[in-house]
Amino acid sequence: MVAKPGFFDEMTGQGDTPREPYGDYCAWFSSEDANNLRRKSAQAEALFRLTGITFNVYGMEEQTERLIPFDIVPRIITAKEWSILERGIEQRVRAINSFLHDIYHRQEILRAGRIPAEMIATNAAFLPQMIGVAPPGNIYTHIVGTDLVRTGENEFYVLEDNARTPSGVSYMLENRETMLHMFPELFSRNRVRGVSHYPRSLRRSLSASLPPACDGPPTLAVLTPGIHNSAYFEHAFLADQMGVELVEGHDLRVIDGRVAMRTTQGYQPIDVLYRRVDDDFLDPMNFNPDSMLGVPGILDVYRAGGITIANAPGTGIADDKAIYSYMPEIVEFYTGEKAILNNVPTWRCSEPDALAHVLDHLDELVVKEVHGSGGYGMLVGPAASKKELSAFAAKLKARPGNYIAQPTLSLSTVPVLTRSGLAPRHVDLRPFALASPQGVEIIPGGLTRVALKKGSLVVNSSQGGGTKDTWVLED
């Protein structure tokens, strides 16, 4: 395999010699029969299909349920590299929780002029209903997925924060389980840190965030929008792995100031609800009155200390890509430290000078909706046609505040197994952090998403990307 010119390949660097973390793996790979590896790849796909690991794609009339492609070549990260990422993510998660507490209370960061007040006041993700609400331990975002990209040997950037309802952890766990099943010999040759403890850690972390009304062993549940949600497999998987109930809105009701779920023994109060329903649909009495997915009155119970909702309502403002552009200032303001992990340079199209620059260089940039996710509503300038560029320019001019722009980074590559052997493809990484009053825990690894199309920079599964197992090596 030869790395692409100008791109850092994580297996070979810029040459043909394996980098140190891939040494044992490459020695094993070179001794394996290519046809046998391809058979193993097909078996892995069959295993995923048998397990039912699929996701739904919105906006398609047919075949909306898809299997996420899985590549059997692992992504390998050294203990030293992981140590930097771990410290940077932990710092960032602490800062995000402090920021969320501040903007719903004294708003010191706005008073200090570090963020424009209108950036908060006019933001659709800011919930006035959360003003003055302090969840247990001031933890607003209990589960965080931080998207990272790499451009060089020691160059990592945070691409975006996922503080609302981050998804993908079930694929991280199933990817590892599949690799252990298919290639047990690899794990005897490589000292790889485990990830299977995530469900136990999640339950422990959620149980540490008890509401004032809890007076005994906590009862947990996972709230799902239902089987038609794109991440329903994950909702069911995590509930099963934690040993808690998976519930929908119609299973819950408010009784005597508590949120209770229907059981065969009657209604039982819930102490901690891990919700995978968006804010707008969470409570029809306080948000969207037409929602059939949430629980009428749950926000009132939450505000009164009768239940912990993870992640807290209103955390979506930390996902906002315009707020993201202020994260270096946010980290320094709340921690007193410089950010360990850098942001990608970002132009806020709401600013006239930035908009002018973006319009002049649209064919060179990546443009994203500030509240977008899953790769939807995004323009990759270098891959766009003149017609697409023209149409997107019109969108930008009509609603500039709805977009940010970033340079097209030279994302690192990791090999994937193709019919003709190994070939480099671009990747990102989503590690998962758990925050509670007891501290922050980062699971060693995460979800590596890979752009399976040659030359593509879009790794999202909804846009044709796949996944890999992510190995963090022991010291």
* Residue whose C-alpha is closest to residue 369's, from 348, 340, 344: 348
Beta bridge partners of 274: 222, 310
Question: What's the CA gap between 171 and 446, in Å, rounded?
Answer: 9
Asked if residue 399 is part of any domain, the answer here is yes
pLDDT of residue 59: 47
Asked if residue 184 is part of any domain, the answer here is no
Arithmetic mean of pLDDT, 22-33: 94
Percentage with pLDDT > 70 across the chain: 94
Residue 374 has pLDDT above 60, yes or no: no
Sequence-distant (≥ 6) Cβ neighbours of residue 316 within 8 angstroms: 125, 163, 164, 278, 279, 371
Burial 259-274 (b: 16+ CB within 10 A, else e): bbbeeeeebebbbbbb
Arithmetic mean of pLDDT, 367-387: 82
Chain segment 115-140, per-residue pLDDT in tens: 999 999 989 999 999 999 999 999 99
Residue 54 has pLDDT above 80, yes or no: no
DSSP class of residue 37?
H
Arithmetic mean of pLDDT, 9-16: 85
* Crossing angle of the two packed helices 232-242 and 169-182, in degrees rounded to 10: 70
Chain segment 227-262, per-residue pLDDT in tens: 988 889 999 999 999 999 999 999 999 999 999 999
Give the range of the structural domain holding residue 378, as residue numbers without chain letter.
345-408
Asked if residue 264 is part of any domain, the answer here is no
Query: Predicted confidence band at 15 (pLDDT cuts at 50, 70, 90)?
Result: confident
Question: What's the CA gap between 441 and 208, in Å, rounded?
Answer: 13
Q: Quick one: the chain helix, strand, coil %, rounded to 5?
A: 35, 25, 40
Residue 372 has pLDDT above 90, yes or no: no
| First CA to last CA distance, the chain | 28
State how beta strands 466-472 and 447-450 pair.
Answer: antiparallel
Asked if residue 381 is part of any domain, the answer here is yes
Asked if residue 214 is part of any domain, the answer here is no
State how beta strands 403-407 and 365-369 pair.
Answer: antiparallel
Element (H, E) at 156: strand 155-162
Burial 151-176 (b: 16+ CB within 10 A, else e): eeeeebbbbbbbbbbbbbbbbbbbbb
Asked if residue 369 is part of any domain, the answer here is yes
Give the pair of three-digit tokens for residue 475: 């010291």
Asked if residue 376 is part of any domain, the answer here is yes
pLDDT of residue 375: 59
Percentage with pLDDT > 90 across the chain: 79
Chain segment 459-469, per-residue pLDDT in tens: 877 667 899 99
Cβ atoms of residues 362 and 412 within 8 Å: no
pLDDT of residue 2: 41
Regarding predicted confidence, which is higher, 143 or 189?
A: 143
Question: What's the CA gap between 83 and 245, in Å, rounded?
Answer: 35
pLDDT of residue 3: 44
Q: Coil, helix or strand for 109? A: helix
- Where do the H-state alpha helices sit in 138-183? 169-182
Question: What's the CA gap between 140 and 156, in Å, rounded?
Answer: 26
Query: Predicted confidence band at 419 (pLDDT cuts at 50, 70, 90)?
Result: confident
* Residue whose C-alpha is closest to residue 267's, from 249, 255, 275: 255
- To the nearest 10°, report the CA torsion of 348, 349, 350, 354: 80
Cβ atoms of residues 321 and 160 within 8 Å: yes
Residue 94 has pLDDT above 80, yes or no: yes
CA distance readout (Å), 340 to 94, 148, 294:
13, 13, 38
Arithmetic mean of pLDDT, 450-474: 86
* Residue whose C-alpha is closest to residue 332's, from 101, 148, 109: 109
Burial 37-55 (b: 16+ CB within 10 A, else e): beeebeebbebbeeeebbb
For residue 398, the domain's CATH number is 3.30.1490.270
Query: Predicted confidence band at 68 (pLDDT cuts at 50, 70, 90)?
Result: confident
Q: Report the domain count for the chain.
A: 1
pLDDT of residue 58: 43
pLDDT of residue 462: 65
Arithmetic mean of pLDDT, 441-470: 88
pLDDT of residue 5: 52
Full DSSP string of 367-395: EEETT--TTTT-EEGGG--HHHHHHHHHH
Query: Predicted confidence band at 36 (pLDDT cuts at 50, 70, 90)?
Result: very high
CA distance readout (Å), 121 to 128, 131, 298, 333, 341:
9, 12, 24, 20, 28
Beta bridge partners of 51: none
State how beta strands 466-472 and 70-77 pair.
Answer: parallel
Asked if residue 455 is part of any domain, the answer here is no
Regarding predicted confidence, which is higher, 77 or 376?
A: 77
pLDDT of residue 97: 98
Sequence-distant (≥ 6) Cβ neighbours of residue 168 within 8 angstroms: 145, 234, 430, 432, 447, 449
Chain segment 177-203, per-residue pLDDT in tens: 999 999 999 999 999 999 999 999 999
Chain segment 214-226, per-residue pLDDT in tens: 988 999 999 999 9
Mean pLDDT, the chain, rounded, equals 91
pLDDT of residue 67: 74
